[in-house]
């Protein structure tokens, strides 16, 4: 599509898909009458985490026969072979098991505390380590943005998520480049610009600190780390929950039927997730490595040592040809070639004169025309995001969705 896009005079996103038009009009990516999970465009829901946890608990205990014990783990007992034999919980005592999932978040009680698996710090590539998060009330009739809006600032970026009763806004920054006070000022200036009707001084932002990185391995002996215990990368592109889902998918596929196959499954899982963490870091870093901003933070991001080698090599290749699926050969890549094309060409990375060989220019031009027609058709067929969410919330038995975003 590269040649046809260049000839069209449109932005890359407008030339290759209908999403920009739908987003510009604050429309929902689906109609309420569509079957569950179907959509006119790719989308994701913003979920209320507490309600989702209650739903999953009910489903697991009532339908799947899971025994749910809510307690605080105070000790771990090891077996002679180095496996975890049991954990001791404050109220329920010893709980034995064959396989333990470490879901203890930053505490990483088992993978870090028990097995001492080192944390690999990736902050030399991803500098951000703090965020200020705030909830901004919105008018009941106001438009709800169909996409998460990300806006760069001098030492990081803002997120802005539209929900029916509020916007979730956050300022992500690097404490080495911006003081907490300066970050507050950035956030305040953004809110005054985007929510002039709100008394910004009355809002109380919450400060979060984090360190981008991950464990050296994720499965040790009979313990698999999933979620924050495995690692965390800055929230750009929201990769945390999808990594949890992918870990569970892989665990189901690699589920050890007996102890003697465990090491083989563990080493396959560790190889796959080392690859995946590296690929997510590449994709996040792309946003910084091709920026043209000239504040110190952005310049440091472009210094040679701050970009992972594989991404540096790909950027050289992509000067001559667009990202292709051969650059991302694994099953279930978190970010495929299309994601890279969006960011590259959306941020003004110079596109090669020729696109990938294989699609004739006439076919490409027809494809761009089709995209334009589809965008027009969707613009007249889809409800606004607010209309869709109002209808969903009034009829859902358990409204766990707080919002919906085009992806
Ligand atoms: C403001 C914000 C916005 C975010 N937005 C997104 C997003 O849009 N998309 C996305 O993918 N991710 C997002 N994330 C990240 C996502 O929320 C986390 O990755 C996810 O919640 C991690 O889940 P977890 O279960 O691994 O860890 P946690 O949620 O930290 O849970 C760990 C649990 O372990 C328990 N625990 C710890 N020690 C013990 C013990 N000794 N005994 C018993 N229990 C113990 C803790 O009490 C806690 O309940 C966001 C995070 C923040 C802060």
CATH superfamily, with its number, for domain 71-123+212-284: FAD/NAD(P)-binding domain (3.50.50.60)
Burial of 316 (0-12, 13-18, 19+ CB in 10 A): exposed
pLDDT of 343 above 70: yes
Angle at 305 (CA atoms; ends 303, 311), nearest 5 degrees: 90
Give the residue, by CA position, lying nearest to ligand 1 atom 7: 238
What pLDDT, on a 0 to 100 scale, did the predictor assign at position 221? Answer: 98
What pLDDT, on a 0 to 100 scale, did the predictor assign at position 344? Answer: 97
> Tokens 């965020």 map to which residue?
131
**Is the C-beta atom of 73 inside 6 A of ligand 1?**
yes
**Is the C-beta atom of 133 inside 6 A of ligand 1?**
yes
**Is the C-beta atom of 54 inside 6 A of ligand 1?**
no
What pLDDT, on a 0 to 100 scale, did the predictor assign at position 355? Answer: 59
* Average pLDDT over the chain, rounded to an integer: 94
What pLDDT, on a 0 to 100 scale, did the predictor assign at position 401? Answer: 77
What pLDDT, on a 0 to 100 scale, did the predictor assign at position 279? Answer: 97
pLDDT of 215 above 90: yes
pLDDT of 353 above 70: yes
**In testing the pocket of ligand 1, which one of 48, 92, 103, 212 has its CB within 8 Å of the most ligand atoms?**
103
Among the listed residues 47, 234, 44, 46, the one whose alpha carbon sits nearest the alpha carbon of residue 157 = 234
What pLDDT, on a 0 to 100 scale, did the predictor assign at position 364? Answer: 83
> Tokens 């440091």 map to which residue?
300
> Which pLDDT tens digit goes with each residue over 354-377?
655 556 777 888 999 999 999 999
- Shortest-distance atom of ligand 1 to CA 168: 1
> How far is ligand 1, taken at its centre, from the CA of residue 241, in Å?
9
Among the listed residues 126, 407, 154, the one whose alpha carbon sits nearest the alpha carbon of residue 283 = 126
What pLDDT, on a 0 to 100 scale, did the predictor assign at position 357? Answer: 52
**Is the C-beta atom of 104 inside 6 A of ligand 1?**
yes
Query: Can you tell me the mean pLDDT for 281-288?
Result: 98
Query: Can you tell me the mean pLDDT for 339-344?
Result: 96
What's the pTM value of the predicted model, to 2 decimals?
0.94
What pLDDT, on a 0 to 100 scale, did the predictor assign at position 396? Answer: 67
Query: Can you tell me the mean pLDDT for 110-128?
Result: 98
Query: Torsion over CA of 370, 356, 23 and 7, rounded to 10 degrees?
Result: -60
> How far is ligand 1, taken at its centre, from the CA of residue 231, in Å?
11
What pLDDT, on a 0 to 100 scale, did the predictor assign at position 315? Answer: 97
**Is the C-beta atom of 47 inside 6 A of ligand 1?**
no
Share of the chain above pLDDT 90, in %: 87
Diameter of the chain by CA atoms?
Answer: 70
pLDDT of 37 above 90: no
**Is the C-beta atom of 208 inside 6 A of ligand 1?**
yes
pLDDT of 407 above 80: no
């Amino acid at each position: 599509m590269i040649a046809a896009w260049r000839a069209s005079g449109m932005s890359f996103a407008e030339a290759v898909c209908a999403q920009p038009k739908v987003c510009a009009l604050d429309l929902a990516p689906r109609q309420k009458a569509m079957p569950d999970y179907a959509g006119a465009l790719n989308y994701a829901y913003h979920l209320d985490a507490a309600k989702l946890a209650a739903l999953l608990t009910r489903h697991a205990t009532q339908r799947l026969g899971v025994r749910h014990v809510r307690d605080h783990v105070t000790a771990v007992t090891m077996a002679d072979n180095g496996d975890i034999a049991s954990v001791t919980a404050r109220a329920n005592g010893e709980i034995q098991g064959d396989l333990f999932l470490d879901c203890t978040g930053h505490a990483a009680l088992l993978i870090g505390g028990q097995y001492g698996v080192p944390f690999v710090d990736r902050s030399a590539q991803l500098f951000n380590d703090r965020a200020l998060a705030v909830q901004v009330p919105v008018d009941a009739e106001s438009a709800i943005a169909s996409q998460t809006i990300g806006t760069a600032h001098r030492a990081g970026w803002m997120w802005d998520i539209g929900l029916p009763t509020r916007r979730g806004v956050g300022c992500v920054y690097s404490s080495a480049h911006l003081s907490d006070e300066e970050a507050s000022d950035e956030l305040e200036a953004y809110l005054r610009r985007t929510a002039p009707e709100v008394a910004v001084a009355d809002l109380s932002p919450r400060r979060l600190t984090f360190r981008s990185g991950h464990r050296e391995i994720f499965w040790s002996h009979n313990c698999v780390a999933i979620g924050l215990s495995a690692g965390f990368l800055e929230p750009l592109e929201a990769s945390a929950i999808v990594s949890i889902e992918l870990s569970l998918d892989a665990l189901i596929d690699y589920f050890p039927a007996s102890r003697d196959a465990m090491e083989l499954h563990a080493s396959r899982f560790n190889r796959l997730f080392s690859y995946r963490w590296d690929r997510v870091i590449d994709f996040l870093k792309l946003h910084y490595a091709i920026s043209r901003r000239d504040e110190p933070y952005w310049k440091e991001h472009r210094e040679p040592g701050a970009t992972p080698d594989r991404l540096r090599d790909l950027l050289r290749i992509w000067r001559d040809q667009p990202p292709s699926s051969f650059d991302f050969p694994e099953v279930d890549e978190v970010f495929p070639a299309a994601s890279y094309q969006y960011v590259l060409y959306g941020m003004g990375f110079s596109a090669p004169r020729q696109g990938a060989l294989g699609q004739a220019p006439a076919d490409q031009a027809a494809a761009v025309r089709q995209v334009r027609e589809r965008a027009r058709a969707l613009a007249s067929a889809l409800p606004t995001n607010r209309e869709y969410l109002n209808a969903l919330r009034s009829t859902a038995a358990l409204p766990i969705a707080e919002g919906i975003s085009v992806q």
